[in-house]
């Protein structure tokens, strides 16, 4: 798939899909009243997808997670 086609699919399919899912998620979250507290966190998983750039970019994230959850490191 060429880059221009990927851009068009992302623009004309991806954006409306994201908007529609966000519009659905907000009222659904109010109805279900999910608790997103991080008090009972036991495991944090970080997935390396590809290349070295993802490791370099996630280094600040990993540092912040270690600082925020010292008992898990």
pTM confidence score: 0.47
Report d(CA 27, CA 12) in Å as an integer.
24
Report d(CA 61, CA 44) in Å as an integer.
12
The predicted structure's pLDDT at residue 70: 85
Long-range contacts of 18-23 (CB under 8 A, 24+ apart): none
pLDDT digits (tens, 9 = 90+) for 2-51: 889 999 999 999 999 999 999 999 899 889 988 888 888 888 888 877 77
Report d(CA 14, CA 52) in Å as an integer.
27
The predicted structure's pLDDT at residue 24: 94
Confidence of residue 73 (pLDDT cuts 50, 70, 90): low
The predicted structure's pLDDT at residue 36: 80
Report d(CA 27, CA 13) in Å as an integer.
23
Q: How far apart are the first and last CA of the chain?
A: 41
């Amino acid at each position: 798939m060429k880059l221009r086609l990927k851009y068009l699919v992302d623009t004309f399919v991806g954006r409306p899909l994201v908007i529609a899912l966000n519009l659905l998620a907000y009222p659904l979250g109010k109805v279900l009243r999910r608790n997103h507290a991080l008090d009972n966190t036991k495991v944090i998983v970080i997935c390396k997808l590809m290349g070295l750039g993802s490791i370099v970019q996630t280094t600040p994230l990993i540092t912040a997670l270690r600082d925020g959850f010292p008992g898990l490191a």
